[in-house]
Amino acid sequence: MSANLLPLLWEATLQTLYMVAASTILGTAVGLPLGVFLATSQRGELLSAPWLNKVLGLLVNATRSVPFIILVVAIIPLTRAIVGTSIGTNAAIVPLTLAAIPFIARLVENAIREVDAGLIEAARAMGATPLQIIRKVLIREARPGIALGLTLAVVSLIGYSAMVGAVGGEGLGDLGIRYGYQRFMPEVMAAVVVILIVLVQLVQSVGEWIAARFDKRAPRNRGR
pLDDT in the model for residue 30: 96
Distance, CA of 212 to CA of 189 (rounded, Å) = 35
| Amino acid making up residue 174 | D
Q: Which helix (H) or strand (E) holds 140?
A: helix 139-163
SS3 78: helix
Is the Cβ–Cβ distance between 37 and 110 less than 8 Å?
A: no
CATH number listed for the domain at residues 5-214: 1.10.3720.10
pLDDT in the model for residue 221: 46
CB contact set of 69 (below 8 Å; sequence gap of 6+): 163, 166, 167
Is the dihedral angle over the CA atoms 34, 38, 40, 41 positive or is it negative?
positive
| Amino acid making up residue 36 | V
Is the Cβ–Cβ distance between 38 and 103 less than 8 Å?
A: no
Map 117-137 to HEC letters.
Answer: HHHHHHHHHCCCCHHHHHHHH
pLDDT in the model for residue 223: 39
| Below-70 pLDDT ranges, the chain | 1-3, 217-224
pLDDT in the model for residue 138: 93
Distance, CA of 219 to CA of 31 (rounded, Å) = 30
